[in-house]
Amino acid sequence: MYNSVEQNNFDEIDKILNQDNNYVSIEQGSSKILQFNPTKKIEVVEKNKEKPFTQIRFIVIEPNSDNNEKWLDIGKKSARLIIAKLKEGYTLLKIERIGSGKDTLYIPTPVSSPVSNDSK
């Protein structure tokens, strides 16, 4: 569809647009592998679209990416699912997004063995 010069221009623009983005974005029906750090503070953030609502903010790293910390803001129901996996010792999770809008749910699936809490 586009020649290599045009495609390279698009790729450069995408890099510029994404370099300062602090948020992890997961498209509907897709997933990403994220590294969670349970020592980082989990925050409650207030958002306002049509009306005010609350989300839970996790600090995560996308492995094999720039390794910069990013924010994953999700609803309470999804946050409970992720917290349950973190409590079991899993920190590397595949997060799958299903649904959209108010019906969005992020499903965590462990990617690696749980981290032992005995070493603390």
Predicted confidence at residue 18, as pLDDT, reads 62
Q: Give domain status of residue 35, yes or no.
A: yes
pLDDT tens, residue by residue, 36-89: 988 888 999 998 877 888 999 999 999 877 778 999 999 999 999 999 999 999
Predicted confidence at residue 57, as pLDDT, reads 95
Cβ 72 vs Cβ 86: under 8 Å: no
Predicted confidence at residue 82, as pLDDT, reads 97
Which structural domain range is residue 82 located in?
23-110
Q: Give domain status of residue 32, yes or no.
A: yes
Work out the percent of the chain whose per-residue pLDDT is above 90. Answer: 50
CATH code of the domain covering residue 64? 2.40.50
Residue 91's φ and ψ, nearest 5 degrees, are -120, -20
Closest CA to 58 of 76, 44, 71, 39: 71
Q: How many domains does the chain have?
A: 1
Mean pLDDT of 9-35: 82
Cβ neighbors of 66 (< 8 A, separation 6 or more) are none
